[in-house]
Amino acid sequence: MQQFSTLFKTLEQSNSRSDKILVLADYFQKSEEKDRLWAVALLSGRLPKRLCTSKDLLAWGMEASSIPEWLFDASGKIIDDVAETVALLLPQPDEPDEQPLFSWMETVRMLQLRKAIDKKTAIQKAWMILNPDERILLNKIITGAFSLYLPEEMLVKGIALATGINEHIIAHRLSGKWSPEINDYHELFVREHVRDYISKPYPWCAERTVDDVTLFKKNPAAWSACYQWDGISVQLILRKGELFLWSEDGRFLNNNFPEIDILKHFLPDGLVFSGQIVAYSERPRPINELQTRLRGKKPGQKKMMATPVVMFVTDLLEFKGADIRREPFRKRRGHLEALLKNYKSNGVLKLDWKLGFDTEEALEELRQSLRQAGAVGLLLRKQENSYLDGSFLLKSDPLCITGILVYVEINNRSGRVRTLSLAVHDGMTLQQFTKVLATLSDEDHAELSEFVKGNTTGRYGSSRSIIPELIFEIAFDNVFSSTRHKSGLVLRNPQLKFWRKDLNPDDAGTLRDLQNFI
């Protein structure tokens, strides 16, 4: 348990993506093999059945600690986490525990079959030999509260680095049905599987973002343009009668979008498409509407009908089983147009519109029409270039607004402000409309922390409500109507731009200003 406890603490405290991947790889190389698969299960959200409630845990902790109930309650209000409160108020163990993670997980599994009194006795004995960090982990596991914000692609990269296996192969295996109680780590992630290679996507081409049209003014006819939608970049693979859907960040998406699977009945083998999965209802919708499809298990019919999707295809990378990435784009596009003309796709697959322009001014007009079309950019390729030569993404200028800081979220371990919640004027009241990461300089972080300490009006776990005095300017790509947000709006890609120390609260933007951007 000690190795996994150290891993968890490091992942929780580190802000470096690359450091987290290295720490994961080191753990998967040095820990016991039986521990590794349990670690993967816990970090990917495959938790055992809950052993007890938080209320039970609190009662057992008070009994084991002999601390008065009022003091226990007071400590709990400060820590705001039952698992941590119980773990920290118990006495230190006499000697460090040497039992590995898998042994503790077997104990938890066995206790699920026992009576409540037996569970209490076993957990209280466990607390006496575990250190506080290990107790926190055990408490969170047995109450079903274990969680860590760790993107799946980061876990995939850590396992891939430790094993030397391709990331997409790891992601495919991770997405399948497996259990640490039945499978073993080597069989699941290390041993070579024949099916791995038919599911493997091609490396994504480089996509360079540009801010103006001057690059394309010489010989505009040599370029081809199409809309870049607010969706998920994917590769769709059809090989050996099977279909595989991969995102650019290495997620295996077959379970998230089961309506795509029907394409294997309409299209021939030996194809790899490049494109985007987009929420689509008469016209393309913003990417936030896809979030319900990306969370949890395979969506039911109700969720699929609430958020219908299509795949806009922009390129063809494999045709009749042959890699055609080195062919010129005009030829690949020709194959693509003929293919989708001759085969039905049940409306799930759409060929992205080809946009023509013959002058720099015409391209600028296309750029200015992006928001009206619901697109986030123009994807431009040279007609004679191969897929390996990459493409250019021409984006519109970001939108900006100033907001009043009303809430901050504090990192409990470092004490630094992590996020800022901003509001705009809505008549005589303030309406919260977005939350952004606090990407400030060290000096501004220190100044903001001092302000928060002296101007906090309420505490809610790690969040603080503060006196609305500070003004920040944010930039964002677009704004959409939303029934899920109190403001009635949702911003795409909001980012902190400036701390506007020159402005007063009365100078902040209004809800009407945001609505006018739609």
pLDDT at 79: 59
pLDDT at 251: 83
CB atoms within 10 A of CB 463: 14
Claim to verify: residue 72 and residue 17 sit in the same structural domain: yes
pLDDT at 80: 64
For residues 408 and 401, is the Cβ–Cβ distance under 8 A?
no
Domain limit, last residue, from 111, 142, 173: 142
Claim to verify: residue 413 and residue 362 sit in the same structural domain: no
pLDDT at 419: 93
Q: Which of these, 129, 117, 115, lies nearest to 87 by C-alpha position?
A: 129
pLDDT at 76: 60
For residues 506 and 244, is the Cβ–Cβ distance under 8 A?
no
Query: Over the stretch 150-182, which tens digit does the pLDDT of each residue have?
Result: 888 889 899 989 988 888 888 878 877 788 888
For residues 374 and 230, is the Cβ–Cβ distance under 8 A?
yes
Looking at the 3D structure of the chain, how many domains does it have? 3
Query: Over the stretch 360-373, which tens digit does the pLDDT of each residue have?
Result: 888 888 888 888 88
Query: Over the stretch 281-304, which tens digit does the pLDDT of each residue have?
Result: 888 887 878 887 887 667 888 888
Burial class of residue 282 (count of CB atoms within 10 Å of its CB; 0-12, 13-18, 19+):
exposed
Query: Over the stretch 247-285, which tens digit does the pLDDT of each residue have?
Result: 988 888 888 898 888 888 888 899 999 999 999 888 888
Distance CA 60, CA 518 (A): 54
Claim to verify: residue 21 and residue 65 sit in the same structural domain: yes
pTM: 0.64
Distance CA 61, CA 382 (A): 67
Distance CA 368, CA 234 (A): 26
Distance CA 393, CA 378 (A): 6
pLDDT at 75: 66
Q: If you average pLDDT over every residue of the chain, what do you get?
A: 86
Domain limit, last residue, from 394, 410, 430: 394
Give whole-number Cα distances, 339 to 342, 351, 460, in Å: 5, 10, 56
Burial class of residue 510 (count of CB atoms within 10 Å of its CB; 0-12, 13-18, 19+):
middle
Name the helix (H) or strand (E) containing 54.
Answer: helix 54-65
- What end-to-end distance do the CA atoms of the chain give, in Å? 52
Query: Over the stretch 382-408, which tens digit does the pLDDT of each residue have?
Result: 999 999 998 999 888 889 999 999 999
The CATH number given to whatever domain includes residue 492 is 2.40.50.140
For residue 420, the enclosing domain spans 399-517
Query: Over the stretch 449-484, which tens digit does the pLDDT of each residue have?
Result: 999 999 999 988 889 999 999 999 999 988 888 877
Domain limit, last residue, from 142, 169, 192: 142
For residues 258 and 304, is the Cβ–Cβ distance under 8 A?
yes
Query: Over the stretch 321-346, which tens digit does the pLDDT of each residue have?
Result: 999 999 999 999 999 998 888 777 66
